[in-house]
Amino acid sequence: MFKYKKPIAILSQGKFGVLEAKTATCILRYRSDEVCAVIDSATAGQTCDDIVGFACSVPIVASVSDAADRGAATLLIGVAPQGGQLPPEWRGYITEAIERGWDIVSGLHTFLSMDSEFSMLAKRSGSSLIDLRLPPRDINIGSGRARDLGTRILMTVGSDCDVGKMTVTYELVEEARTRGIKTAFVATGQTGIFLSKWGVAVDAVPADFVAGATEAMVIEAARTSDLVVVEGQGSLVHPGYSGVTLGLLHGGVPHGMVLCHEVGRRAIKDMPNQEIPPMRDLIALYEHACEPIRPAAVTSIALNCFSLDEDACTQEIARTERETGLPATDCIRFGSAVLLDSFLERYPLR
């Protein structure tokens, strides 16, 4: 649990609307009531709706000072660049925000709280530097012990990173809670941690401890819930992140998985030579990888049809259902009921 002052200005300088700014987009989707401004001089003055593609009345401004005029009290870094380093051109924005006494919330691999300049300034101005990705101490090695829980465990997995796993996870949790199911959201990345105020960014823990961190979270979450939904990370076919994905699977030991995919994505992001295998091969790969620790089935497909109109999206859903023999949907357009139903049908609550 962490605290920050409100309202928030989201720093998205030069990146707003780009896939890398998915943190910004997700927070605008689910927590826009906390946000007073997006900072991006390239799109300043435009309306937020046009950029993110959904209803959003948050103004886009050009500077920290403009965001201050809107009352901002926290700066949230709204970008997840590959590798998670701080873009050097952002130091100025952060410095200015700290000097104004704002809290800073960051999901970068570069920890702001360990930056001597930032932390010196923060001490002086009274601002808190909150690193969402900072690993906890005292994680144990994973042992598969989450298998012993009575709670059902569902995990989102993906054909790639940045296909919408966090969003699908969030929607599944909301759907289950609407139905009165005691449901826990196990956040494993910076955006999910921000939204749920709890979690571990598993990609930032020393590699030996990914499964252990996941296992510990699932066990903790199961204490107060009948359904645990674990946010997946990366992809088993991503040359850089596959290890994180497998650690999550073996630590979280899901009963079933929802496979997330962005329609039209043919290769791994930024790696045109790394083709994404056909959906059925992906399903087989995920199920085979789970097998040694606890067999688990992919029970449905979550499509991200952001780039399609509704007709094309409906067609793509039908095509995917024929191809895989599994229910599919775009949960932003049509809700996540289908995804939850197919999981619960196969793995009823106990």
* Residues of this chain that bind its own copies (CB under 8 A): 82-84, 109, 135, 140-144, 202-212, 236-248, 250-251, 271, 273-274, 277, 284-285, 288-289, 291-293
Contact predicate 142/211, CB 8 Å: yes
Least separation in angstroms between residue 114's CB and its own copies is 12
Tell me whether residue 239 is exposed, middle or buried, using C-beta atoms within 10 angstroms of its C-beta: 0 to 12, 13 to 18, 19 or more. Answer: exposed
Q: 164 or 212, CB closer to its own copies? A: 212
Least separation in angstroms between residue 247's CB and its own copies is 3
Contact predicate 269/19, CB 8 Å: yes
Report the Cα–Cα distance between both ends of the chain, in Å, rounded.
29
Tell the residue number behind the tokens 């960014």, with chain if given.
201
Q: 163 or 205, CB closer to its own copies? A: 205
Cα separation, 260 vs 302, in Å, equals 5
Least separation in angstroms between residue 260's CB and its own copies is 17
Contact predicate 194/168, CB 8 Å: no
Contact predicate 269/237, CB 8 Å: no
* Two structure tokens written together for 183: 């449901």
Q: 117 or 291, CB closer to its own copies? A: 291
Q: 45 or 83, CB closer to its own copies? A: 83
Q: 59 or 144, CB closer to its own copies? A: 144
Q: 116 or 273, CB closer to its own copies? A: 273
Q: 154 or 202, CB closer to its own copies? A: 202
Handedness of CA 72, 203, 282, 157 (dihedral sign): negative
SS3 state at 3: coil
Least separation in angstroms between residue 110's CB and its own copies is 11
Q: Is the peptide bond before 295 cis (omega within 30 degrees of 0)?
A: no
C-alpha atoms less than 13 angstroms from C-alpha of 342 in its C-beta half-sphere = 19
* Two structure tokens written together for 145: 């012990």
Least separation in angstroms between residue 302's CB and its own copies is 20
Cα separation, 266 vs 254, in Å, equals 27
* Two structure tokens written together for 57: 């009345």
Tell me whether residue 113 is exposed, middle or buried, using C-beta atoms within 10 angstroms of its C-beta: 0 to 12, 13 to 18, 19 or more. Answer: middle
Q: 141 or 318, CB closer to its own copies? A: 141
